[in-house]
């Protein structure tokens, strides 16, 4: 899985979404993240199709929403997502939340079926705490490939990062820029100034140093490029320690964003 991807949450304008995906892929991105509930799978598929990049070179992930987690719905809605995306398979299919119709013993065998049928290459989970991940590992035949959670300098997810390292799955950061809050943090701004970089680049470089894959949302070519250029930013041990000390256990997305917010 490429360690920097394009997130598409709240990228709701179809033309803008398709163009941002095309732009990112032609710039060099090879990882695109969407979800059933985002309502933009068709636009994401259009962007992939429009890009001068082979489909097999794109790591594409989507997520099954909580109301679709009964076994028969997992299969039916995933097939619908593939049709909407215009692809035969996705590289990673997530359980979006351990909520709603989610029942590990019922839901997860349907994900195994999708792997067996070649409709997804890998199974992931999202917004799972360690005990949720361990239960999923017990039930699934396929390995848990990734857990996608909110992660940024203010919500560093050290316990989940350690759990991921111990159990051999990837941690993927949504809202890696804390919905823009990193732009106003003095430590992040000071580190950015020292490198003639942007605060966004510093936050993404810090996540990369922690072994976390980031999927920042960006729609303009300038922001897509700014995030992409974080790959060349190397932070010193002292700078990493300064950012580590920012930890506030503060989530920018929660509690306003969650399963209940969509119902």
Q: What is the pLDDT of residues 79-114, one digit of tens each?
A: 999 999 999 999 999 999 999 999 999 999 999 999
Question: What six digits make up the tokens of 163?
Answer: 């759990």
Contact of 199 with 182, CB cutoff 8 Å:
yes
Q: Name the residue ranges covered by the structural domains of the chain.
A: 6-262
In this prediction, residue 249 carries a pLDDT of 62
- At the second CATH level, the architecture of 6-262 is Alpha-Beta Barrel (3.20)
Element (H, E) at 21: helix 14-27
The CB density around residue 109, as the number of other CB atoms within 10 Å, is 15
Max CA distance (Å), the chain? 54
Q: What is the pLDDT of residue 214?
A: 98
Give pLDDT tens digits for 111-140: 999 999 999 999 999 999 999 999 999 999
| Res 252: pLDDT | 62
Rg (CA), the chain: 18
Residues of the chain with pLDDT under 50: 254-257, 259-263
**Contact (CB, 8 A) for 61 and 91:** yes
- CA–CA separation, 44 vs 256, rounded Å? 25
Integer Cα distance of 47 and 58 in angstroms = 11
165 sits in which H/E element: helix 158-167
Instruction: Count the alpha carbons within 13 Å of 210 in the hemisphere toward its beta carbon.
Output: 30
d(CA 203, CA 144): 26
Q: What DSSP string describes 93-140?
A: EEE--S-TT--HHHHHHHHHHHHHTTSBS-EEEES--HHHHHHHHHH-
Tell me which residues are annotated as active site.
38
Query: ∠ CA 16-18-23 to the nearest 5 degrees?
Result: 90
Question: Is residue 201 classed exposed, middle or buried when 0-12, 13-18 and 19+ CB atoms within 10 A define those classes?
Answer: buried
pLDDT of res. 196: 98
Helix (H) or strand (E) holding 199: helix 199-209
Q: What is the DSSP letter of 89?
A: -
Q: What is the pTM of this model?
A: 0.93
């Amino acid at each position: 899985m490429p360690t920097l991807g394009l997130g598409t949450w709240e990228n709701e304008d179809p033309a803008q979404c398709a163009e941002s995906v095309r732009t990112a892929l032609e710039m060099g991105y090879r990882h695109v993240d969407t979800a059933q509930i985002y309502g933009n799978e068709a636009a994401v598929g259009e962007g992939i199709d429009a890009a001068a990049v082979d489909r097999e070179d794109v790591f594409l992930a989507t997520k099954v929403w909580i109301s679709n987690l009964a076994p028969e719905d997992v299969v039916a809605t995933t097939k619908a997502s593939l049709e909407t995306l215009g692809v035969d398979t996705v590289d990673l299919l997530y359980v979006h939340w351990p909520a709603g119709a989610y029942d590990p013993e019922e839901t997860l065998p349907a994900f195994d079926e999708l792997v067996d049928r070649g409709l997804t290459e890998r199974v992931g989970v999202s917004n799972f705490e360690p005990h949720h991940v361990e239960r999923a590992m017990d039930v699934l035949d396929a390995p848990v490939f990734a857990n996608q959670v909110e992660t940024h300098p203010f919500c560093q997810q050290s316990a989940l990062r350690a759990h991921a390292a111990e159990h051999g799955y990837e941690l993927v950061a949504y809202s890696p820029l804390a919905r823009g809050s990193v732009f106003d943090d003095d430590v992040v701004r000071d580190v950015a100034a020292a490198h003639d970089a942007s605060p966004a680049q510093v936050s993404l470089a810090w996540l990369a140093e922690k072994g976390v894959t980031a999927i920042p949302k960006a729609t303009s070519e300038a922001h897509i490029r700014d995030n992409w250029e974080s790959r060349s930013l190397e932070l010193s041990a002292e700078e990493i320690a300064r950012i580590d000390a920012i930890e506030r256990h503060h989530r920018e997305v929660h509690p306003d964003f969650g399963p209940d917010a969509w119902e």
